[in-house]
A = this chain, B = another copy of it.
Amino acid sequence: MLYVIIAIALVALLYVYFLGRSLVKKNPGNERMQYIAGSIAKGAVAFLKAEYKILAIFIVTLGVLLALTANSETSSMFVGVSYVLWAAFSALAWFIGMKIATKSNVRTTQAATTSLSQALNISFGGGSVMGITVVSLGILWLAVLFLLYSHLYWTGDSFSLMKILNILTGFSLGAESVALFARVGGGIFTKAADVWADLVGKIEAGIPEDDPRNPAAIADNVGDNVGDVAGMGADLFGSYVSTIIATMILGVGVSVSQWNNWVTSIPGVLFPLIISALWIIFSILGSRMVRIKESGNPQLALNIGNFWSIIMTAIASFGVIKFLFPSTVMISGEVYPSIYLFWSIIVWLVVGTLISIITEYFCAKGKRPVKHITRNSLSGAGTNVIAGISVWMISTALPIILLALGIVAAYFFGGVYGVALAATGMMATTGIQLAIDAFGPIADNAGGIAEMSHLDKKVRERTDILDSVGNTTAAIGKGFAVASAALTSLALFSAYKEAVGIPGIDISNAKVLAGLFVGGMVPFLFSGLAIRAVGNSANAMVKEVRRQFKEIVGLLEGKPWVEADYERCVNISTKAALKEMLLPGLLTIISPIVIGFIGGGEVLGWFLVGVTICGVLAAIFQSNAGWAWDNAKKMIESYEDGHEHHYKGSNSHKASVVWDTVGDPLKDTSGPSLNILIKLISIIALVIAPLIK
């Protein structure tokens, strides 16, 4: 079975290779376009290299510590090796994805000079390379290393199986910890540039977005690549493997009867791996369906691809469950009809879809909440931000209620294994979801290149259509991401509880509340540090841009032979982002260790719960806040000229730029990092559990 999985992953990688080659062969446009795209690619690679250097030190140190402290009975020093390897593979996956993205952007611009459908093909193709690479590399290494460690440790009993899986936990630790730094570092970089572009460019200098006179214009585009492409890739790579591994670990507690004896837990352990391999195929098929005619609707095309993957996931889950499991399974001592496992996946596909729809309602242009924000812009930026805050606070209610109902339902259908399986089910669409997510920044970049190369307005209009589609779809995807992060953490709790052995707990126990309080505070502290980091980096950037406007003669006037010093801005952002990402990153890694060793296993357990509850809440509202504000600004900008209140340069437009800025770091830096924070802290707790016990 494992060989089949490996074969599927290899074939998928081969597909990606050819897809990538065909993309690179497309026309990269004129010299000016190539020069700009080259600068973007150079900046992005420089950032990743600098980031990798810092990460390497950190990862190797932690890997050695892990190897030294590993308990040889339940684990092995391979856990350290796995950790380092896994971090390296994650880095490889998003490096490849980003490379292709920086090649696709300019080719999308060139295609957009003639055709919208061609532009969609290339930009979505670039996204697909990222998406399929991430899932294939993830599954490939999971299968290969599982096979390898099985040869080393497998003795036929569930104890040895558990040992193998404990070593695999090192993998998810590696993947999630690089993901956190990539997300935070990339998020700081991209917002430092973007916040600048909005403030100094639009308001102070009065020049449009992506204007080549803007010294931070290249940095802004580099940011899209390192934050939204590489950061997102790292994020989803981490989610993907850690969810699958958590489900595999809980699968040890699932027994299947053979010859009337409850004997083997192998099907429960392998099920998540098998189904994920199948999903790679569906993601490829789904991504092939994203095609439009010249006058077609790109949003519809993406939705069809996405929806199709979900339907196929549901059907395939049913088939594999019928094939792998007998009619009943025993999960932690209780007997369930095996078809219940199917239902826990279905419940969460429905919950995830509903959360996405609600998210769209609260964030989309033209819907009541965003209209409420724009209406409040008439009395200025202050009342507006108030309106925005009230919208995002209210927007937490329905998703959380759905989440709570979904947890109870998944638990009913399959205990903790059901919960974990539901999380894995939500990860099924990772391939195509990442393709959609990466497609947005590629289209965004393409628009920037068009603007900076002084191409025809028509080109920019075409890329703007793609960009706005990408934005909406990405916002919806965040709903799925938060829900699955919550589920994965819950699954990890159970694993942690088993590892530490927490007894029944008294609701009024002081330790419970102390743990919950401190845990609940961490997401806020983390967000605060990440947001402050953006502010700090943006400040450095703003000063540099003002200096260039002042000192480079003729720049603002747009004299053709005068170039801004783009590279300096990229360097400043790189340095600031890498420096500023350390504090929030270290907080995440150190806090569970400190709480665990000072407070003990029980307090750490409740700390995890606190982190999850408040982390999920904060992630939902930060992401919704950012998107709602962004779309409210876009709504005002899209009014016809001559509208009574809303027009470019009106008070309400100026106010909208302020609040869009406020939302930027919430939706792109701190918000999405919280999903990783939640899981990473749970994984760290699981890894140190044997030590604090």
User: Using a CB–CB distance below 8 Å, which chain A residues touch chain B?
Assistant: 195, 198-200, 203, 372, 376, 379-383, 385-387, 389-397, 400-401, 403-405, 407-408, 410-412, 416, 419, 486, 490, 493-494, 497, 502-508, 510-518, 520-521, 524-525, 527-529, 531-532, 534-535, 538-539, 542, 605-606, 609-610, 612-614, 616-617, 621, 657-662, 665-666
Q: How far, in angstroms, from A528 to B397 measured CA to CA in the complex?
A: 10
Cβ of B199 and Cβ of A396 under 8 Å apart? no
- Among all A-B residue pairs, the 5 with the closest Cβ atoms: A504-B504, A393-B528, A382-B661, A411-B510, A390-B532
User: Closest chain B residue to A500 by CB distance?
Assistant: B507
Extra 14 A-B pairs, beta carbons < 8 Å, given A200-B379, A393-B528: A380-B658, A383-B539, A386-B534, A386-B665, A389-B528, A390-B528, A390-B532, A396-B525, A396-B528, A416-B508, A512-B609, A516-B613, A520-B617, A613-B614
Instruction: Write the nearest CB–CB distance from A376 to chain B, whole angstroms.
Output: 6
Q: A509: nearest residue on chain B (CB-CB)?
A: B411
Residue pair A524, B393 in contact (C-beta under 8 Å)? yes
Given the known A-B contacts A195-B383, A199-B382, A382-B195, are A518 and B393 also in contact in the complex, defined by CB atoms under 8 Å?
no
Hey, which chain B residues are within 8 Å of A490, CB to CB? 508, 510, 513
A507, B510: Cβ atoms under 8 Å? no
Shortest beta-carbon distance, A386 to chain B, in Å? 5
- From the candidates B379, B493, B657, name the one contacting A199 in the complex (CB within 8 A): B379
A410 to B527, CA, bound (A): 30
Which of A382, A390, A486 counts the most B-chain CB atoms under 10 A from its CB?
Answer: A382
**In-complex Cβ contact of A380 among B203, B392, B408, B518 (8 A):** B203
| A203 contact set on B, CB distance < 8 A | 380
CB distance from A428 to the nearest CB of B (A): 22
How far is B309's CA from A7's CA once the two chains are assembled, in angstroms?
A: 77
**A538 in contact with B504 (CB, 8 Å):** no
- Residues on B with beta carbons closer than 8 Å to the beta carbon of A419: 510
Q: Which residues of B contact A404 (CB under 8 A)?
A: 513-515, 517-518
Q: How far is the CA of A238 from the CA of B53 in the complex (A)?
A: 57
Contact of A613 among B376, B394, B613 (CB under 8 A): B613
Contact in complex: A525, B382 (CB < 8 Å): no
- Most central of A372, A376, A404, A542 by chain B CB within 10 Å: A404
Taking each of A408, A508, A515, A517, which has the highest tally of chain B beta carbons within 10 Å of its own beta carbon?
Answer: A508
With a CB–CB cut-off of 8 A, which chain B residues contact A531?
386, 389-390, 393
Please tell me if the beta carbons of B610 and A613 are within 8 angstroms of each other in the complex. Answer: yes
Q: Are the CB atoms of B505 and A493 closer together than 8 Å?
A: no
Q: Do residues A505 and B507 form an inter-chain contact, with CB atoms below 8 A? A: yes
Tell me how far the C-beta of A237 lies from the nearest C-beta in chain B, rounded to whole angstroms: 26
CB-based contact A658/B385 at 8 Å: yes
- Please give the distance in Å from A65's CB to the nearest CB on chain B: 26
- Contact B407 A521, beta carbon cutoff 8 Å: no
Shortest distance from the beta carbon of A583 to any chain B beta carbon, whole Å: 10
B residues in contact with A385, CB < 8 Å = 385, 658, 661-662
Partner of A605, one of B381, B507, B513, B527: B507
Chain B residues lying within 8 Å of A532, measured Cβ to Cβ, are: 372, 387, 390-391, 394
Taking the nearest CB of chain B, how far is it from the CB of A93, in angstroms?
31
CA–CA, A386 to B525, complex, Å? 14
Q: Contact at A514–B661, with CB atoms within 8 Å?
A: no
A203 and B515 CA atoms in complex are apart in Å by 46
Collect the chain B residues with CB atoms within 8 Å of residue A410's CB: 510
Contact A609 B394 (CB under 8 A): no
Q: Once the chains are docked, how many angstroms separate the CA of A400 from the CA of B534?
A: 25
Instruction: Tell me, in angstroms, the Cα distance from A517 to B403 when the chains sit together.
Output: 8
**Contact status of A507 and B606, CB under 8 A, knowing A391-B528, A517-B407, A531-B393:** yes
A514 near B199: Cβ-Cβ < 8 Å: no
Distance between A58 CB and nearest chain B CB, rounded to angstroms: 23
Q: Are B383 and A381 in contact (CB under 8 A)?
A: no
Most buried by B among A405, A510, A512, A606: A510
A529 to B404, CA, bound (A): 21
Among A195, A535, A609: residue with most chain B CB under 10 A:
A535
CB distance from A219 to the nearest CB of B (A): 16
Contact of A505 among B200, B506, B617 (CB under 8 A): B506
Neighbouring B residues of A521 by C-beta, 8 Å? 396-397, 400-401, 617
Cα(A506)–Cα(B381), bound, Å: 47
Distance (Å) between the CB of A652 and the closest chain B CB? 13
Given that A518-B400, A529-B394 are contacting pairs, would A507 and B497 also be in contact in the complex, using a CB cutoff of 8 Å? yes
Please, could you name 22 A-B residue pairs with CB atoms under 8 Å apart, sorted by A?
A199-B380, A199-B382, A199-B383, A382-B659, A382-B660, A386-B661, A390-B532, A393-B524, A394-B529, A397-B521, A397-B524, A400-B520, A404-B513, A404-B518, A407-B514, A408-B511, A486-B517, A497-B508, A502-B507, A504-B505, A513-B609, A658-B658
Q: Is A408's CB under 8 angstroms from B502's CB?
A: no
- A203's nearest neighbour on chain B, judged by CB, is B380
Contacts of A511 in B (CB 8 A): 408
A508 touches B528 (CB 8 A): no
- Which B residues touch A657, using CB under 8 A? 382
Nearest B residue to A397, CB-CB? B525
Report the minimal beta-carbon distance from A539 to chain B, rounded to whole angstroms: 7
Residues of B near A665 (CB, < 8 A) are: 386
Residues of B contacting A613 with CB < 8 Å?
513, 516-517, 520, 610, 613-614
A394 engages B528 (CB within 8 Å): yes
Q: Is the CB of B621 within 8 A of A507?
A: no
